[in-house]
Amino acid sequence: MKKSAPAPLVIPDAPKKGEAAPAVRSFEPERAQPPADQKQPEPPAPSRLSSRVQATIAVTVRLDETRYERMKRWGTTDRRVTNQEIIVAALDRFFALSDEEREESIAGVRR
């Protein structure tokens, strides 16, 4: 069986590195501009997105084996609760505490 030639590694007519230039024209259709004296409509207010859709920041949490096993066991025992939901609920309760209660709670973990 004869092998076919390998596919080229370059795209024909593509600019070389450092030679790319911005597009000369927009591909969006032009919109008619309202007269300057006409009031433009207010843009719609952004809708409230659910917490699953909002932008989030990933955080890594290191847990000892005992805490991890307790969290895993509790979340999977007929509850279908994710580790994410458990940690977010715990943080919400933590931030609902007074500053003094938070300090005591942190001191208890550091012992």
**From CA 65, how far away is CA 50, in angstroms rounded?**
32
Residue 63: pLDDT band (50, 70, 90) is very high
Q: Which DSSP helix (H) or strand (E) runs through 73?
A: helix 65-76
Contacts for 21 with CB less than 8 Å, ≥ 6 apart: 15
Predicted local confidence at residue 98, as pLDDT: 93
Report the Cα 85 to chain-centroid distance in Å.
16
The answer to whether the Cα torsion of 48, 52, 58, 101 is positive or negative is positive
pTM, to two decimals: 0.48
Average of per-residue pLDDT across 66-88: 88
User: Which position has the higher pLDDT, 71 or 1?
Assistant: 71
The domain segmentation of the chain, as residue ranges, is: 84-111
Q: What is the pLDDT of residues 5-40, one digit of tens each?
A: 887 677 777 777 778 777 666 556 666 666 666 666
**From CA 43, how far away is CA 93, in angstroms rounded?**
37
Residue 75: pLDDT band (50, 70, 90) is confident
Tokens at residue 17, please? 């590195």
